[in-house]
């Protein structure tokens, strides 16, 4: 082909290409002048109305009198730990006094089978019959609201008795136990008088009654059932037994079909519910062959944490009966696992047991015991004979009695709870005979069934709703029953974690610092980033796994788990980490270098960590002023103090409880209340800040009186906060005209000082250059009433320097209406028609109102404050213009930061199982409904512990064994998951940029310019070029899942993760055996007195 032909072809191809339309040219100088003009105007308004320059001057004036002290983090954490240890020791002493009183009372009490005795039954107190007489066991019981007990109606003079529905309230064992435990009443009262910080004190009896102080009126659930049984609470089980390695063996041969299989499953579930984080478990099912119900756990034991227990429950639910049962192989496999774990120093390293659940045993199994368990009998064997058949009872009982175990027969669902609990009493024998009163501390839990739990959830920081229990076992000291090792019950007392954290005062930890606690298993006890609640519709509920959140899931930057390992091992030390701290519900991020200081809390399984952020976070400001001068300024009406901080202790003396912290401080300083105990260092800093900030009141008042400039209408409020938790505010409009009424109130926890954190406007300003302002818009989903955002919060930090050290003394700001910002923006974004355009390269005169331009004001995280289209306000810019956001990311003006949330809740898609079957026959549908009503519904009432006060973990589970019929009420349920999400961050070193974007048939120009003294950017883009070929850049949250090449590989990696054991510290004590133990006390026929309601349960199961 000749040169001429090639030239023609190229020309022809060129003609086929679409010609790129000339883009709108935006002059850079124009955009810069707009940004400067708008920035100047904005700076003038916010400095004037906030008074920031005056406040900076006032703090500058007092710099010569200020001292800046560097905080010694290690010294601080040790001091806090000692105070916490002392406080917890007082709780232990209270429990010890109760144990001593209970054991002495039992020693002096002679059992009387015909005892008649009236007591205060918490369900019946104050109830009257139709003749207006008090019902039996329901005498008059004075109840009064008490702030110390969350305003519940209580009686602080007496305790009263709670009994589960399935325990007869006049059973001789109950009457004798209640009569004997009356001796605890004066001790409860005396304990509370000695230590007014004590909350609930109680005695849980092994017979099933629960004595609670202060006494309350216990309300049944809406179905009239009280399912709370103190004996299956975590504190009771932990105190009654040492750590356990358990293998559950269940017979799934054909003879176990129907009701027997249902009872067996319920028995396994009940056993699982008696296990905790210090225990290890596995489940083997057997018929013709042996199989681990979770194949991944073959040959090992796994920690009985909540996730593993729930996983086992789901698998148990799917078990089916078929084939012929041969127990020998299952027993052999169980003994091997337990021996291997024992020899390898794994598992609980204490009690080991096999739970055999069967409807009969006919083989010759003696050889198995001879080979693996005799003569030492290191593994106890507990047997549960399922069904009414007694033919095999001698065999099954022989297995238990010859292996230091216990035998029970379970013929109805109502028998399960009582019979499973027997194994705990056997395991407690060595400890009881030895009279070892071990002190146990539980993991964190929540009083989620309190009458006003909704109100509590809303009013307090989530992480401070939790509590721990200290508990000790109570034994019979009678010589004649010594070898039987009789456990009378467990005594306990609750310790709210907020009481512990009061001993780590917020003001000593800097703007971003915090204290946190974790357990010997690595779980969080308290942490400001712990979020135990989630929202389902409009209701706040505890997450299913709220009390098993691992430290590594909150401090996730600790990739190698150095911090976690050191704290679990109870070490004292220090660690530094660069961290990304999510704020504003994950929409923004602070980049900090944090110093972690940690130590153990002696006498407990807990460790304490204190975090200080590097730089200003490790300095504390010390000012000085006279009480007279400070007191005068404290009395100004615009001043308030952080009510969650402890300036003075007001919650012990009833006369002080009505005082706000400010009132308490004033009474302390004036000498009106000499009994008040106050933090003198904090009070001194409050006085100093009150004096320094006092001129602000007059300044703001003068401005408000002279505010007539129409152009500045829209400035609504000025406010300031100091490092001592002091706040001042002033309104520039009538209170009825305020756009954001929640701001600076308890309804907007992010805007005030709390026990957990400084206000968000303070924290963000502290990480911005002093003198520069942070503008923050409420995002569309968080705005009041759900409409478009209406206000912008503006704040700046006030820094002081002494001897080269810089500290943040305060933050000050204004809240302005968004339309004021918008008015100023549009006024600045235009050139007059008579502009000199000769020197400009591009369109001139130009205005942001022109159709050819789109102008945006965005913040340093990419959220829009001003746009031509009001509906875009508060949205992320990348969702509006993906092309420009992509280019800004490519140019480095913004960067994407990946964040993780290991406490998220994700939707589980709804899957309907076999929807066709009920349609086959109306009779089938009717029978199914009747079956559900009689069996599942009643069992659900009994198993689902809605009215529980203590350890109401199962509240969130909503997963009793028999849940087939009611588990699909909602199409989307939420379950715990791990997520990752992006946060976009502006790089302030890049002040301006511009570029051209190729958009197919046109080029789109954009110019970005920083607004001085702010965190804002002006973005001007070409509106004529359609760049929709670029996808939007979204703030999508993604669930973190293993994405692997093959399903088999995926399964193996998942299995590896499930099998892996995180580092944990075992409890210090173990009581596995005692030579004086009476092993012949090994059970017999089950004798359980039950209520008529419970007797209905088996009837429903006949329909299965």
DSSP 729-787: EEESS-GGG-S-TTTTSTTSGGGS--SS---HHHHHHHTS-TTPBEEEE--TTTSGGGS
Beta bridge partners of 975: 906
pLDDT band at 17 (very low <50, low <70, confident <90, very high): very low
pLDDT digits (tens, 9 = 90+) for 83-129: 999 999 999 999 999 999 999 999 999 999 999 989 999 999 999 98
Find out whether 606 and 600 touch, Cβ atoms under 8 Å. Answer: yes
Task: Point out the least confidently predicted range of 389-403, 445-459, 914-928.
Answer: 914-928
| 23 closest CA partner among 1079, 1022, 1059 | 1022
Fill in the DSSP letter of residue 934. Answer: I
Q: Is the pLDDT of residue 1022 over 50?
A: yes
Which position has the higher pLDDT, 917 or 189? 189
Q: Is the pLDDT of residue 878 over 90?
A: yes
What global pTM score does this model have?
Answer: 0.86
How far apart, in whole angstroms, are the C-alpha atoms of residue 474 and residue 428?
11
Find out whether 60 and 888 touch, Cβ atoms under 8 Å. Answer: no
Residue pointed to by tokens 């007092």: 62
Residue pointed to by tokens 């850079």: 28
How far apart, in whole angstroms, are the C-alpha atoms of residue 611 and residue 566?
15
pLDDT mean over 214-224: 85
Residue 1070, classified by CB atoms within 10 Å of its CB into exposed (0-12), middle (13-18) or buried (19+), is middle
844-to-516, 667, 835, 867 alpha-carbon distances in Å: 59, 67, 8, 21
Residue pointed to by tokens 């300044």: 699
249-to-283, 310, 691, 1038 alpha-carbon distances in Å: 6, 18, 73, 40
How far apart, in whole angstroms, are the C-alpha atoms of residue 732 and residue 703?
8
How does the average pLDDT of the chain come out, rounded?
A: 84
How far apart, in whole angstroms, are the C-alpha atoms of residue 229 and residue 945?
9
19-to-740, 853, 872, 998 alpha-carbon distances in Å: 52, 22, 32, 12
| 214 closest CA partner among 494, 471, 421 | 494
Q: Is the pLDDT of residue 435 over 80?
A: yes
Q: How many residues does the chain have?
A: 1104
Which position has the higher pLDDT, 458 or 215? 215
**pLDDT the model gives residue 473:** 95
Find out whether 897 and 862 touch, Cβ atoms under 8 Å. Answer: no
pLDDT band at 929 (very low <50, low <70, confident <90, very high): very low
Percentage of the residues of the chain whose pLDDT score is greater than 70: 85
**pLDDT the model gives residue 960:** 34
How far apart, in whole angstroms, are the C-alpha atoms of residue 385 and residue 408?
6
pLDDT mean over 574-589: 94
Kindly state the helix (H) or strand (E) to which residue 422 belongs, with its residue range: helix 416-434
How far apart, in whole angstroms, are the C-alpha atoms of residue 490 and residue 204?
5
Q: Which two tokens stand for residue 622?
A: 């010390």
How far apart, in whole angstroms, are the C-alpha atoms of residue 445 and residue 525?
9
1087-to-360, 414, 1090 alpha-carbon distances in Å: 20, 11, 10
1086-to-354, 398, 625 alpha-carbon distances in Å: 20, 16, 75
Q: Which two tokens stand for residue 717?
A: 């409020």
pLDDT band at 249 (very low <50, low <70, confident <90, very high): very high
How far apart, in whole angstroms, are the C-alpha atoms of residue 814 and residue 181?
61
**pLDDT the model gives residue 839:** 56
What is the chain's Cα-based Rg?
35
Which position has the higher pLDDT, 24 or 663? 663
Q: Are strands 244-251 and 280-286 parallel, antiparallel or unpaired?
A: parallel
pLDDT mean over 554-580: 93
| 473 closest CA partner among 99, 199, 845 | 99
How far apart, in whole angstroms, are the C-alpha atoms of residue 902 and residue 914?
34
Helix (H, G, I), strand (E, B) or coil at 352: strand
What's the CA angle centered on 487, arms 305 and 428, to 5 degrees?
45
Q: Is the peptide bond before 375 cis (omega within 30 degrees of 0)?
A: yes
Alpha helices in 584-660 (DSSP H): 627-634
Question: 389 φ, ψ to 5°?
Answer: -60, 130
pLDDT band at 1042 (very low <50, low <70, confident <90, very high): low
pLDDT band at 20 (very low <50, low <70, confident <90, very high): very low
372-to-328, 338, 361, 433 alpha-carbon distances in Å: 12, 10, 19, 27
Residue pointed to by tokens 């109830």: 127
Q: Is the pLDDT of residue 191 over 90?
A: yes
Kindly state the helix (H) or strand (E) to which residue 766 belongs, with its residue range: helix 760-766
State the number of CA atoms in the 13 A half-sphere of 922 facing the CB. 0
Find out whether 105 and 205 touch, Cβ atoms under 8 Å. Answer: no
**pLDDT the model gives residue 83:** 96
pLDDT band at 735 (very low <50, low <70, confident <90, very high): confident
Q: Are strands 487-496 and 514-518 parallel, antiparallel or unpaired?
A: unpaired
Neighbours of 308 (CB within 10 A): 21
pLDDT digits (tens, 9 = 90+) for 1049-1060: 556 666 777 777
Q: Show Cβ contacts of residue 279 under 8 Å, excluding neighbours closer than 6 positions.
A: 243, 244, 245, 246, 303, 304, 348
pLDDT mean over 512-517: 95
pLDDT digits (tens, 9 = 90+) for 50-74: 999 999 999 999 999 999 999 999 9
How far apart, in whole angstroms, are the C-alpha atoms of residue 790 and residue 787?
9
pLDDT mean over 571-600: 95
pLDDT mean over 196-213: 93
How far apart, in whole angstroms, are the C-alpha atoms of residue 205 and residue 229?
10
Q: Which two tokens stand for residue 96?
A: 């010890």
Beta bridge partners of 1038: 980
**pLDDT the model gives residue 57:** 95
Q: Are strands 805-817 and 715-722 parallel, antiparallel or unpaired?
A: antiparallel
**pLDDT the model gives residue 688:** 95
Torsion of CA 1021, 1023, 1025, 1030, to 10 degrees: 60
Phi-psi sector, 454: left (phi>0), alpha (psi -120 to 50), beta: alpha
148-to-59, 153, 214 alpha-carbon distances in Å: 40, 11, 11
Helix (H, G, I), strand (E, B) or coil at 164: coil
Kindly state the helix (H) or strand (E) to which residue 997 belongs, with its residue range: strand 992-998
């Amino acid at each position: 082909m000749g040169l001429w032909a090639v030239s023609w072809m190229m020309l022809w191809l060129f003609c086929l290409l679409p010609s790129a339309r000339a883009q709108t040219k935006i002059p850079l100088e124009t955009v810069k002048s707009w940004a400067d003009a708008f920035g100047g105007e904005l700076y003038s308004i916010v400095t004037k109305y906030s008074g920031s320059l005056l406040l900076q001057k006032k703090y500058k004036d007092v710099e010569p009198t200020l001292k800046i002290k560097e905080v010694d983090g290690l010294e601080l954490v040790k001091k806090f730990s000692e105070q916490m240890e002392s406080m917890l020791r007082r709780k232990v002493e209270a429990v010890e006094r109760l144990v001593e009183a209970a054991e002495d009372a039992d020693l002096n009490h002679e059992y009387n089978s015909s005892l008649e005795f009236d007591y205060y039954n918490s369900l019946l107190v104050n109830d009257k019959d139709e003749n207006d007489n008090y019902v039996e066991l329901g005498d008059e019981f004075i109840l009064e609201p008490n702030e110390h007990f969350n305003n519940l109606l209580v009686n602080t003079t007496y305790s009263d008795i709670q009994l589960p529905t399935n325990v007869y309230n006049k059973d001789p064992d109950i009457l004798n136990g209640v009569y004997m435990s009356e001796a605890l009443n004066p001790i409860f009262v005396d304990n509370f008088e000695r230590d007014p910080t004590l909350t609930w004190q109680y005695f849980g009896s092994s017979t099933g009654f629960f004595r609670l102080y202060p006494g309350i009126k216990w309300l049944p659930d809406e179905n009239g059932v009280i399912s709370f049984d103190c004996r299956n609470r975590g504190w009771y089980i932990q105190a009654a037994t040492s750590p356990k390695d358990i293998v559950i063996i269940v017979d799934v041969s054909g003879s176990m079909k129907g009701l027997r299989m249902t009872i067996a499953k319920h028995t396994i579930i009940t056993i699982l519910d008696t296990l905790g984080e210090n225990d290890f478990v596995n489940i083997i099912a057997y018929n013709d062959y042996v199989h681990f119900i979770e194949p991944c756990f073959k040959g090992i034991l796994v920690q009985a944490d909540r996730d593993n227990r729930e996983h086992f429950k789901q698998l148990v639910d799917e078990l089916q009966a078929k084939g012929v049962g041969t127990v020998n192989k299952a027993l052999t496999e169980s003994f091997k696992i337990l021996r291997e774990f024992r020899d390898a120093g794994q598992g609980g390293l204490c009690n080991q047991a096999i739970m055999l659940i069967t409807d009969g045993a006919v083989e010759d199994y003696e050889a198995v015991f001879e080979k693996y368990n005799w003569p030492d009998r290191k593994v106890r064997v507990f047997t549960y004979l399922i069904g009414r058949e007694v033919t095999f009872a001698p065999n099954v009982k022989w297995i238990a009695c010859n292996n230091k175990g216990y035998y029970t027969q379970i013929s109805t669902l109502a028998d399960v709870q009582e019979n499973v609990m027997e194994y705990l009493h056997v395991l407690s024998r060595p400890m009881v005979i030895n009279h070892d009163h071990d002190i146990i501390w539980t993991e964190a839990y929540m009083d989620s069934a309190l009458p006003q739990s909704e109100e509590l959830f809303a009013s307090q920081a989530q992480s401070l709703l939790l509590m721990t229990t200290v508990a000790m076992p109570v034994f019979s000291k009678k010589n004649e029953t010594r070898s039987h090792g009789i456990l009378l019950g467990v005594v306990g007392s609750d310790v709210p974690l907020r009481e512990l954290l009061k001993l780590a005062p917020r003001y000593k930890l800097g703007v971003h610092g915090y204290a946190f606690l974790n357990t010997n298993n690595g779980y969080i006890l308290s942490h400001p980033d712990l979020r135990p609640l989630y929202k389902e519709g409009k209701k706040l509920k505890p997450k299913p796994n709220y009390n098993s959140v691992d430290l590594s899931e909150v401090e996730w930057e600790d990739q190698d788990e150095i911090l976690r390992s050191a704290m679990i091992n109870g070490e004292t030390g220090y660690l530094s980490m660069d961290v990304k701290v999510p704020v504003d519900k994950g929409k923004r991020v602070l980049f900090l270098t944090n110093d972690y200081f940690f130590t153990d809390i002696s006498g407990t399984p807990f460790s304490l960590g204190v975090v200080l952020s590097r730089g200003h976070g490790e300095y504390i400001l010390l000012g000085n002023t006279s009480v007279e001068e400070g007191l005068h300024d404290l009395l100004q009406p615009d001043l308030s103090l952080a009510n969650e901080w402890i300036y003075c202790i007001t919650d012990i003396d009833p006369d002080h409880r009505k005082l706000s912290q400010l009132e308490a401080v004033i009474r302390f300083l004036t000498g009106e209340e000499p009994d008040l105990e106050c933090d003198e260092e904090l009070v001194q800093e409050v006085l100093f800040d009150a004096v320094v900030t006092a001129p602000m009141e007059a300044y703001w008042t003068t401005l408000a009186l002279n505010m007539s400039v129409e152009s500045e209408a829209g400035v609504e409020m000025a406010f300031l906060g100091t490092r001592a938790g002091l706040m001042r505010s002033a309104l520039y409009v009538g209170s009825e005209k305020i756009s954001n009424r929640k701001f600076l109130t308890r309804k907007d926890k992010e805007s005030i000082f709390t026990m957990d954190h400084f206000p968000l406007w303070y924290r963000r300003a502290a990480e911005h250059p002093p003198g520069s302002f942070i503008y923050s818009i409420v995002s569309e989903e968080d705005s009041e009433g759900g409409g478009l955002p209406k206000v912008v919060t503006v704040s700046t930090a006030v820094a002081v320097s002494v001897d080269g050290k810089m500290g943040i003394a305060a933050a000050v700001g204004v809240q302005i209406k968004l339309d004021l910002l918008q008015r100023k923006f549009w006024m600045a974004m235009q050139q007059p028609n008579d502009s000199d355009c000769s020197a400009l390269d591009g369109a001139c005169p130009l205005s942001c109102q022109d159709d050819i331009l789109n102008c945006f004001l965005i913040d340093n995280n990419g959220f829009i404050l001003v746009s031509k289209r009001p509906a875009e306000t508060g949205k992320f810019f990348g969702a509006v213009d993906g092309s420009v956001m992509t280019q800004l990311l490519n140019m480095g003006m913004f960067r994407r930061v990946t964040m993780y949330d290991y406490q998220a809740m994700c939707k589980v898609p709804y899957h309907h199982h076999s929807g066709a079957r009920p349609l086959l026959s109306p009779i089938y549908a009717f029978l199914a409904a009747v079956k559900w009503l009689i069996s599942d519904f009643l069992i659900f009432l009994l198993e689902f512990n809605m009215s529980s006060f203590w350890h109401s973990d199962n509240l969130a589970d909503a997963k009793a064994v028999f849940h087939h019929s009611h588990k699909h009420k909602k199409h989307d349920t939420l379950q715990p998951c791990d997520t990752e999400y992006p946060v976009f961050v502006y790089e302030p070193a890049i002040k301006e940029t511009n570029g051209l974007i190729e958009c197919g048939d046109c080029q789109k120009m954009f110019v970005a310019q920083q607004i001085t003294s702010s965190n804002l950017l002006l973005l001007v883009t070409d509106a004529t070029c359609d760049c929709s070929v670029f996808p939007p850049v979204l703030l999508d949250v993604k669930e973190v899942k293993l994405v692997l090449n093959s399903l088999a590989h995926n399964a193996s990696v998942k299995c590896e993760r499930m099998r892996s054991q995180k580092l944990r510290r075992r409890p210090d004590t173990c009581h596995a055996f005692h030579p004086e133990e009476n092993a012949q006390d090994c059970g017999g026929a089950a004798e359980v007195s039950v209520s008529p309601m419970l007797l209905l349960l088996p009837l429903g199961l006949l329909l299965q």
